[in-house]
């Protein structure tokens, strides 16, 4: 019997991968215009990095990590998220020594042992970004506007931005206590998970989907009513800058992120289109994380989006790649010319296809149909002897005589294929 892949670990096949490339390309383009540089971090880290940063009482560390002991008896974990690794690298390489304000982005696979379903996998992919060294709420708004810009650039109207503030070590303990006092008499309504983490992580009950938890937390004190002055100012200034940028957002005081390191601004980009996998991107401020990991005391903020979920939102669009030109050739001399012209055009950057084993013209044209190329060129013995051929524009249905010379063909193709976006991803041109 043939060996299959591991449950929850997916192949991304041609036909789908073009969408992924488009998402990654758009992320690079947008993030780099905001001054972010890419960082590539390893897929595996010491287990203690995640235990210390994400927090022992979180779902991720409690039950979702792929941890094992390697042959050298080291306790290692396949990374469940990127922020901890980026901050570990930031500290290890003293990136802060060059400039405390560092803007980094990353993309790649993450691993969590979860129940696989649509939009939830065991190997999934994130694109994330982090900014260090800035306390000013302008940067909170900047990170959020960049994220909204990214989704707009993809042509998506979903997801929607929701923001909250989780306070800081100064005001959160009192809020936690107030929430615990409120929930104590309603404990039996809570689901088993929320009951279990009532002492360690009571805030989780606020965004738990279980009916009992919703009922128990009805009328619970809001974190936003319990912020200290510093956190309140920070939150209102963040909103002020979001308003200046014209961002659409709503406030969700029940949003609690599943990682312990968040402070102050937290946010999610949510959609109603993916069932219970409603979060497409999420993040927040982590002002204590860098020092917690042994680095200097400096703030940070960042987010991660799930690429599978972004791809699902883009699913109705056709991303199949189209070659620029298909060349059909009949006879030995024509095949030689076709092969030469094809190679020269490919070097110039055009996408060119041929039927490598093409015998009859009919079978070659069938293949041309399948490729759905933008242009086609048929070369037979007559064309070879005259040194010219008909270049057919498949979309317009027109054709024009052209010299059998790659430079002449290139000029003609270039003047038509003005929009790279259109040809590379088969998308409508940007208005
Ligand atoms: P969820 O509430 O759906 O479990 P999360 O809060 O665990 O999400 P984060 O840790 O904040 O998610 O990760 C950021 C993003 O990564 C999520 O918004 C989601 O798009 C994506 N993501 C998280 N876990 C998975 C997974 N198992 N499969 C696919 N995407 C995921
Ligand atoms: Mg999760």
Q: What is the pLDDT of residues 34-51, one digit of tens each?
A: 999 999 999 999 999 999
**Better pLDDT: 298 or 430:** 298
Q: Whose CA is nearest to atom 19 of ligand 1?
A: 306
pLDDT over 60 (residue 23) = yes
Which numbered ligand comes closest to the C-alpha of 260? 1
Q: pLDDT confidence of 428, banded at 50, 70, 90?
A: low
User: Pairing mode, if any, of strands 123-132 and 300-306?
Assistant: antiparallel
120 lines ligand 1 (CB under 6 A): yes
Q: pLDDT confidence of 201, banded at 50, 70, 90?
A: confident
How far does residue 279's CA lie from ligand 1's centre (Å)? 7
397: how many CB neighbours lie within 10 A of its CB? 7
What would the pLDDT profile of 42-78 be if each residue is shown by its tens digit?
999 999 999 999 988 788 998 999 999 999 999 999 9
For residue 369, the Cα-to-chain-centroid distance in whole angstroms is: 33
What would the pLDDT profile of 263-276 be if each residue is shown by its tens digit?
999 999 999 988 88
Concatenating the DSSP letter of every residue in 133-201 gives: S--SHHHHHHHHHHHHHHHHHTT--PPEEEEEE---TTTHHHHHHHHHHHHHTTGGGS-HHHHHTTTT-
Which numbered ligand comes closest to the C-alpha of 255? 1
Q: Whose CA is nearest to atom 22 of ligand 1?
A: 306
279 lines ligand 1 (CB under 6 A): yes
CA distance 110 to 89: 17
What would the pLDDT profile of 391-410 be if each residue is shown by its tens digit?
999 989 999 999 999 999 99
Which numbered ligand comes closest to the C-alpha of 126? 1
Mean pLDDT of the chain: 92
309 lines ligand 1 (CB under 6 A): yes
Scan for tokens 């010319």, then name that residue.
337
What would the pLDDT profile of 101-133 be if each residue is shown by its tens digit?
999 999 999 999 999 999 999 999 999 999 999
User: Pairing mode, if any, of strands 279-285 and 300-306?
Assistant: antiparallel
73: how many CB neighbours lie within 10 A of its CB? 6
How far does residue 306's CA lie from ligand 1's centre (Å)? 6
Instruction: Give percent of the chain with pLDDT exceeding 70.
Output: 96
pLDDT over 50 (residue 422) = no
If you ran DSSP here, which 8-state letter would residue 60 be given? I
How far does residue 171's CA lie from ligand 1's centre (Å)? 27
What would the pLDDT profile of 329-388 be if each residue is shown by its tens digit?
999 999 999 999 999 999 998 999 999 987 899 999 899 889 999 999 999 999 999 999
Atom of ligand 1 nearest to the CA of 278: 3
For residues 105 and 31, is the Cβ–Cβ distance under 8 A? yes
By most ligand atoms within 8 Å of CB, the mutation choice from 59, 150, 260, 306 for ligand 1 is 306
Q: Whose CA is nearest to atom 28 of ligand 1?
A: 120
How far does residue 301's CA lie from ligand 2's centre (Å)? 19
Q: pLDDT confidence of 415, banded at 50, 70, 90?
A: confident
Which numbered ligand comes closest to the C-alpha of 310? 1
How far does residue 300's CA lie from ligand 2's centre (Å)? 22
Q: Which of 27, 11, 34, 7 is nearest to 109 (CA)?
A: 11
pLDDT of residue 420: 45
CA distance 117 to 100: 41
277 lines ligand 1 (CB under 6 A): yes
How far does residue 63's CA lie from ligand 2's centre (Å)? 11
What would the pLDDT profile of 235-289 be if each residue is shown by its tens digit?
999 999 999 999 999 999 999 987 778 899 999 999 998 888 899 999 999 999 9
Q: Whose CA is nearest to atom 20 of ligand 1?
A: 306
Q: Whose CA is nearest to atom 24 of ligand 1?
A: 120
Q: pLDDT confidence of 319, banded at 50, 70, 90?
A: confident
Instruction: Give percent of the chain with pLDDT exceeding 90.
Output: 80
pLDDT of residue 418: 62
Q: Which of 384, 144, 359 is nearest to 240 (CA)?
A: 144
Q: Whose CA is nearest to atom 16 of ligand 1?
A: 306
For residues 166 and 159, is the Cβ–Cβ distance under 8 A? no
114 lines ligand 1 (CB under 6 A): yes
pLDDT over 50 (residue 431) = no
pLDDT of residue 209: 87
């Amino acid at each position: 019997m043939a060996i299959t892949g591991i449950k929850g670990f997916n192949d991304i096949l041609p036909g789908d991968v073009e969408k992924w490339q488009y998402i990654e390309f758009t992320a690079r383009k947008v993030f780099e215009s905001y001054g972010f540089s890419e960082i590539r971090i390893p897929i595996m880290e010491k287990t203690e990095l995640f235990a210390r940063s994400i927090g022992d009482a979180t779902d991720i560390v409690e039950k979702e990590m792929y941890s094992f002991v390697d042959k050298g008896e080291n306790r290692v974990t396949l990374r469940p998220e990127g922020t901890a690794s980026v901050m570990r690298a930031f500290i290890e390489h003293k990136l802060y020594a060059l400039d405390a304000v560092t803007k980094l982005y990353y993309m790649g696979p993450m691993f969590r042992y979860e129940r696989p379903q649509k939009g939830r996998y065991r190997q999934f992919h994130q694109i994330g970004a982090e900014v260090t060294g800035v306390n000013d709420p302008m940067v909170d708004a900047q990170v959020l506007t960049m994220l909204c810009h990214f989704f707009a650039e993809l042509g998506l109207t979903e997801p929607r931005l929701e923001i909250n503030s989780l306070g800081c070590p100064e005001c959160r303990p009192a809020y936690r206590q107030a929430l615990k006092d409120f929930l104590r008499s309603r404990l039996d309504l809570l689901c088993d998970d929320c009951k279990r983490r009532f002492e360690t992580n009571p805030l989780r009950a606020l965004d738990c989907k279980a009916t009992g938890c919703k009922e128990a937390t009805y009328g619970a004190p809001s974190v936003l009513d319990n912020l200290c002055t510093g956190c309140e100012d920070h939150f209102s200034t963040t909103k002020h800058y979001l308003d200046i940028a014209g961002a659409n957002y709503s406030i969700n005081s029940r949003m609690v992120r599943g990682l312990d390191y968040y402070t102050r601004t937290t946010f999610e980009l949510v959609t109603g289109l993916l069932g219970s996998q409603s979060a497409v991107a999420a993040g927040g401020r982590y002002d204590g994380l860098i020092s917690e990991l042994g680095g200097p005391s400096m703030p940070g903020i960042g987010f991660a989006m799930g690429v599978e979920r972004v791809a699902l939102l883009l699913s109705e669009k056709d991303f199949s790649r189209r070659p620029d030109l298909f060349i059909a050739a009949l006879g030995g001399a024509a095949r030689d010319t076709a092969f030469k012209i094809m190679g020269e055009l490919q070097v110039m950057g055009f996408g060119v296809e041929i039927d490598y084993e093409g015998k009859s013209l009919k079978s070659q044209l069938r293949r041309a149909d399948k490729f759905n190329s933008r242009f086609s060129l048929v070369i037979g013995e007559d064309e070879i002897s005259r040194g010219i051929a008909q270049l057919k524009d498949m979309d317009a249905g027109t054709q024009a005589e052209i010299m059998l010379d790659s430079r002449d063909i290139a000029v003609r193709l270039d003047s038509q294929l003005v929009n790279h976006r259109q040809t590379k991803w088969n998308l409508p041109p940007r208005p």
